[in-house]
Amino acid sequence: MIRIGIIGATGYAGAELVRILHGHKDAEIVWYGSRSYVDEKYASIYRNMFELVEDECLGDNMAEMAERVDVIFTATPQGYLAGILTEEILEKVKIIDLSADYRIKDVSVYEKWYGIEHKSPQFIDEAVYGLCEINRDKVKNARLVANPGCYTTCSILTAYPLVKEGIIDPNTLIVDAKSGTSGAGRGAKVPNLFCEVNESIKAYGVASHRHTPEIEEQLGYACGGDVVISFTPHLVPMNRGILATEYAALTRKVTAEEIKVVYDKYYGEETFVRVLPMGNVPETRWVEGSNYVDIGFKIDERTNRIVMIGAIDNLVKGAAGQAVQNMNIMFGLPENMGLDMVPLFP
Amino acid sequence: MIRIGIIGATGYAGAELVRILHGHKDAEIVWYGSRSYVDEKYASIYRNMFELVEDECLGDNMAEMAERVDVIFTATPQGYLAGILTEEILEKVKIIDLSADYRIKDVSVYEKWYGIEHKSPQFIDEAVYGLCEINRDKVKNARLVANPGCYTTCSILTAYPLVKEGIIDPNTLIVDAKSGTSGAGRGAKVPNLFCEVNESIKAYGVASHRHTPEIEEQLGYACGGDVVISFTPHLVPMNRGILATEYAALTRKVTAEEIKVVYDKYYGEETFVRVLPMGNVPETRWVEGSNYVDIGFKIDERTNRIVMIGAIDNLVKGAAGQAVQNMNIMFGLPENMGLDMVPLFP
Amino acid sequence: MIRIGIIGATGYAGAELVRILHGHKDAEIVWYGSRSYVDEKYASIYRNMFELVEDECLGDNMAEMAERVDVIFTATPQGYLAGILTEEILEKVKIIDLSADYRIKDVSVYEKWYGIEHKSPQFIDEAVYGLCEINRDKVKNARLVANPGCYTTCSILTAYPLVKEGIIDPNTLIVDAKSGTSGAGRGAKVPNLFCEVNESIKAYGVASHRHTPEIEEQLGYACGGDVVISFTPHLVPMNRGILATEYAALTRKVTAEEIKVVYDKYYGEETFVRVLPMGNVPETRWVEGSNYVDIGFKIDERTNRIVMIGAIDNLVKGAAGQAVQNMNIMFGLPENMGLDMVPLFP
Amino acid sequence: MIRIGIIGATGYAGAELVRILHGHKDAEIVWYGSRSYVDEKYASIYRNMFELVEDECLGDNMAEMAERVDVIFTATPQGYLAGILTEEILEKVKIIDLSADYRIKDVSVYEKWYGIEHKSPQFIDEAVYGLCEINRDKVKNARLVANPGCYTTCSILTAYPLVKEGIIDPNTLIVDAKSGTSGAGRGAKVPNLFCEVNESIKAYGVASHRHTPEIEEQLGYACGGDVVISFTPHLVPMNRGILATEYAALTRKVTAEEIKVVYDKYYGEETFVRVLPMGNVPETRWVEGSNYVDIGFKIDERTNRIVMIGAIDNLVKGAAGQAVQNMNIMFGLPENMGLDMVPLFP
């Protein structure tokens, strides 16, 4: 039985870890870390867990936690983990970090986009970017996994095979992404109030969102060169879900059948990536509550572009689900253990 | 392995049966019955099931189905099952009926409220009203279970202990219920369009909703007399969830602590009924996707009334979940098998 | 041209005053008071007003405001106006208070339900309860109008004629009310975040909501006796709208036609009360954005109760619209001036 | 007083015409045409109009209507008007067509994208494309105005000044558009049910949506050449609003200030186009219920692209509002008459 500690267990991503891990046979949460709710019953904050979780929230003392658990999930603000991580801790526990602290290999890029100094750059090299379908082998032996961002997971997986195979020009890539509001977190802010979000849609972080360099770096590895893309996130009046609509120029004449073959080559054996039948487009409702990525595409012969579309649940494959998938890989468990949630519809 | 047939597998309740049974270890759906989509892949209609269900929809030939399955779930319009059920079928398979056909013992009451003739009243006596927490023992040996309505499940369970113990006067009971829109079904009707439901709330079926006599009959058994109540359902702009706010006059001076003791007496051992800590009120979000009933209450000393509140997911405990719970009881399985879904929030 | 000052212009009720008064021919806002946004452009906070309002927000100096305006609207927290109101101010300007400070005549009732000391009880007697359809004559000459609460406006107007005529027993009245989320205000609080409200419904303030004594007092005037009722508000995932479902015992045998005659007697000439054709039930979508109250009813012969239903837009007839209606009355203008907004659907 | 007839008065666009024209001082609807609801009271279908509209619905006899009105609005399916329009009718009344029948000058393009034969191509030349801000002069004397589509109005106005001035390369233009669900109309279809739309987002009509050639044609006029673009619409769980996020390559180095100057040059005097302060991005909530187009932009120096964003209410500026604006121009009235609706928020 894997003993688990969560720092940030009372945010939305933390709560989703709790929901998922509750159904995991070989894992047990022994530390519900929450700075805001120390000594309160976890189930008094997330009442869906009433009678399911009896524990009280503990603080976020990582050194102590490291003594008592096998793996720590950090669902914390940017900079938090980088500020407290030590070699001593890493020698005791594995860490799966849901923040961005170790996602970007070039520390100057991190510091520029996030606007903060990185306090422990010495661990960046070692950290493995936990996009399971692509970096599975590296995750296996990692001590420190940088769990990908929600937008990036969806954006990268949707474009990856075509970039890798040179079928699209990655520098023409435009990612127009739409997210449910749980992606904005549980902080009490006016822009996230019901009446501010409901009955509206908006773009934000235009040409400046922090997930941009993360997508560029990973797609750069795929094509073996520098990649610069346009990325625009939007806020949608729904709880969960990310839809990424991605546009790119084709580098050569291809048929839809050929594209389908390429996607199937990369994802045909993947449990959590569903390449839809040709002509189908993903919708977030079909993946809600599950760890699936649904992918579809359409060639636009008039413009010689392809439109690729991906859909995930931002809290599952975009955060907690992928984190558990990484844990399973790190501990040698079946990758889908505890992750067989069927999408909830309606 | 229990072999299952579903008639009406492509309605919302049917689809929820599919979702739940997919995770049931001792049951397997072998017949996805759907009049509208014969020969179409089930997963092409409910794409959440893509790569999870490979079957195509079959028709609704009950005689043939009875040869191939151990239990049939009928998620069909009122009158359908009553029109085709025969002794021959019942000798071959167990039936769990999600419609109202066998819920009401007095056929004249059924015919009055539903406005249709009952075609097989000979089975009414035998049918067991499948409110598991109350009729568990009778369900065990039933051939035909009348699965309770969504509003009724919530309304009855919320008031039952206090009616049974004589703490409230059942004839003062007023049930003001609110339901998510999945309760209206998947039929293509203008009043259920997104723009008609969104940003609005309305009552419907005022003083005439068909779940009224069902509540009255069951509470009548509890108190050993006739019960006449007010019941008003409302349509809420959300997918899932029923909240029942119930008002009744107290028959004597009681404290909140005493009321809590009564609720705990009836439900303390129940897996799926969660009596909330005193002072907490149920909210539908805390039960979404799960088979739980959350119950809370408040004594109003000024009016000598008690306000009881119950919350369920109308598609789970209000339909498919309770149906599976009944199946488990009928087949001697642990009652919660396949029903351990943690509520999904947010 | 009436010069207007608003204290609390950047809350939802204040913003609705701005929207409505923008279209009022004989009134002009000259003071946009907002403690949080002093010196910021009003239209930078409420961008719907971009290019429509050029003013910046001012503070909340009531003495200074009183020199420059003819009427002050206070859309402020409870206790605020009571803490600063003076005879000197009242001699200079008329005040329409959207808070509860002067709604309740018995100061001990106010202090008990609101849990604060009333700092200027000397003005309570003089204050007129601004429920226009009932107190129109008193409003005409008032210096200080207590604008009714949102729930109370809807609850009282829906039951008033039947209470007044003795057709229902007011002490059997149960008001089950449902409100859109704008009623919770624009404060940054976790329970009002999109993901906390969306896809859920809950009751709150059960048997303790502050609008209860306000309803009881006014209905007490109607029947000439003490009235004690049950009132339960609910939060609905929509922006605007209140639906009040009200249950009461009939005092005698009446027909629906007789009830309709009574409603028409009281409201037949009222611009803003629409008694629906028999058989129709109000829905909040049909009044959204307008100053209408829609009222319907259904007699339940089985229980000898009547179900009365009322619907308003909580920000218009439940707050800003009624405040402007009061202003029109106080200044001798046509009562509907600036209030001819057609309900917005969908 | 202009006498108005509407064909299709009971669809969402038709109902919005009724809402807007109700507040128009110089116009009066004398014919509420609706094939589905002949002889029913209009206000029994759209109950927001209860006590505001007393008329019953009439049929869609255009010849008879032409005798009794000065202008006909056709809010009808594609091909309907083209199938019945005659010179005789056009000699009697002006027509503002909200369908696509006369928007596209090249009949073969129309027939290809719409998949139907055009039955009266002889009127295409004469028809004026009613994008008021661009074609105002031509509209003045038109007998037949082709009212632009909702997506096209937003997409074109957002990009127009930069295309016209040669600042962006129109053939690099990618329009990713998001619409509220009222754009899907009031037809009873499963995909538009509340539970199918709520809590989801999807693309549709990828690389094949009919508004594409309309945008291309108009931007082609602006740049004086052929334009081929990518256009992808998405369905968003909200009632109203279109947001268009548009990406294009800059043809030269420009500053944000220069771009702002260009937008102001074209729109500075326009009542209904609001160019937002630099740094602000449009959100649909700020235009809901109004005839405004809000426009913002951001230069992305990393990619040498500009992101332009526009927001409208699809039923107002995207349909009924613009139609009334065209009517005002055609009849020599102030262009904003009856269109001074302040955006409704929240």
| Nearest-CA distance C239 → chain D (Å) | 6
Mean predicted confidence (pLDDT) in C303-331: 98
D189 touches C at CB < 8 Å: no
Q: Residue B120's pLDDT is what?
A: 98
> Which DSSP category does B320 fall into?
I
Architecture of domain A2-126: 3-Layer(aba) Sandwich (3.40)
Classify residue C30 as exposed, middle or buried by CB count within 10 Å of its CB (0-12, 13-18, 19+).
Answer: middle
| Nearest-CA distance D7 → chain C (Å) | 19
D192 touches C at CB < 8 Å: no
Is-contact D150 D312, C-beta < 8 A? yes
Is-contact A29 A335, C-beta < 8 A? no
B84 touches C at CB < 8 Å: no
Chain A positions in Cβ-Cβ contact with residue B182 (cut-off 8 Å): 346
Lateral strand order in the sheet of A273-275: A202-203, A230-235, A174-179, A242-249, A305-312, A293-300, A273-275
Q: Can you give the residue ranges of every domain in chain B? A: 2-126, 151-314
Structure-token pair, residue B123: 């089975």
Chain B positions in Cβ-Cβ contact with residue C228 (cut-off 8 Å): 302-303
Summarised one tens digit per residue, pLDDT across range A110-149 is 999 999 999 999 999 999 999 999 999 999 999 999 999 9
Q: Residue B167's pLDDT is what?
A: 98
A232 touches B at CB < 8 Å: no
CB within 8 Å of chain A, chain D residues 100-119: none
Is-contact C213 A172, C-beta < 8 A? no
Do B50 and A346 count as a contact with CB atoms less than 8 A apart?
no
Which segments in chain A show pLDDT lower than 70? Answer: none
Q: Chains near A, with 3+ CB pairs < 8 A?
A: B, C, D
Own/partner long-range contacts of D134-137 (Cβ < 8 Å, ≥24 apart): D134/D160, D134/D218, D136/D329, D136/D335
User: Of C51, D68, D202, whose CA–CA distance to A236 is shortest?
Assistant: D202
CB pairs under 8 A between C and D: 74
Give me the catalytic one of D150, D154, D195, D223: D150
* B199 → closest Cβ in A44, A47, A199: A199
Do D193 and B194 count as a contact with CB atoms less than 8 A apart?
yes
Tell me the three state secondary structure of residue C178: strand
B239 touches D at CB < 8 Å: yes
Backbone angle region of B123, left / alpha / beta, with phi > 0 → left and psi within -120 to 50 → alpha: alpha
| Alpha helix (H) residue ranges in C150-240 | 150-164, 194-197, 211-223
Q: Residue C76's pLDDT is what?
A: 96
How many CB atoms within 10 Å of residue D216?
22
Confidence of residue B250 (pLDDT cuts 50, 70, 90): very high
Do B188 and D189 count as a contact with CB atoms less than 8 A apart?
yes
D342 touches B at CB < 8 Å: no
Q: Residue C229's pLDDT is what?
A: 98
Chain C positions in Cβ-Cβ contact with residue B238 (cut-off 8 Å): 198-201, 237
A309 touches D at CB < 8 Å: yes
Domains D2-126 and D151-314 share a fold: no
Confidence of residue B233 (pLDDT cuts 50, 70, 90): very high
Is-contact B323 B2, C-beta < 8 A? no
Place of tokens 């306090």: A119
Pairing of strands D71-74, D2-7: parallel
Do C281 and B206 count as a contact with CB atoms less than 8 A apart?
yes
Provide, rounded to the nearest whole percent, the portion of chain C with pLDDT above 90.
Answer: 100
B198 touches D at CB < 8 Å: yes
Classify residue D187 as exposed, middle or buried by CB count within 10 Å of its CB (0-12, 13-18, 19+).
Answer: exposed
Pairing of strands C305-312, C293-300: antiparallel
- Count CA atoms closer than 13 A to C100's CA, side-chain side: 27
Give me the catalytic one of C150, C154, C195, C223: C150
User: Of D297, D313, D331, whose CA–CA distance to D161 is shortest?
Assistant: D297
Do B192 and D197 count as a contact with CB atoms less than 8 A apart?
no
Backbone angles phi, psi at D29, to 5 degrees: -80, 125
| Nearest-CA distance C10 → chain A (Å) | 12
Amino acid identity, residue B200?
S
Summarised one tens digit per residue, pLDDT across range C266-315 is 999 999 999 999 999 999 999 999 999 999 999 999 999 999 999 999 99
Q: Which residue of D has its CA nearest to A346?
A: D195
Q: Residue D133's pLDDT is what?
A: 98
Q: Residue A130's pLDDT is what?
A: 98
Q: Which residue of B has its CA nearest to A270?
A: B51
Whole-prediction pTM: 0.98
The total number of residues shown for chain A amounts to 346
Q: Where are the beta strands (DSSP E) in C211-266?
A: 230-235, 242-249
* C283 → closest Cβ in B176, B200, B307: B200
- For the annotated catalytic residues of A, the residue numbers are 150
Amino acid identity, residue B238?
M
Q: What is the CATH number of domain C151-314?
A: 3.30.360.10
Do A302 and D199 count as a contact with CB atoms less than 8 A apart?
no
Measure the N-to-C terminal CA separation of chain B; round to a whole number of Å.
Answer: 34
Do A193 and C186 count as a contact with CB atoms less than 8 A apart?
yes
* C182 → closest Cβ in D274, D340, D346: D346
Q: Strand pairing partners for D215? A: none
Cα C47 from chain centre: 25
H or E element, residue C179: strand C174-179
B198 touches C at CB < 8 Å: yes
Chain C positions in Cβ-Cβ contact with residue A188 (cut-off 8 Å): 188-190, 193
Confidence of residue C130 (pLDDT cuts 50, 70, 90): very high
Tell me the three state secondary structure of residue C112: helix
Architecture of domain A151-313: 2-Layer Sandwich (3.30)
Which segments in chain D show pLDDT lower than 70? Answer: none
User: Of D131, D81, D124, whose CA–CA distance to D318 is shortest?
Assistant: D131
Q: Residue A88's pLDDT is what?
A: 97
Q: Which residue of D has its CA nearest to A212?
A: D302
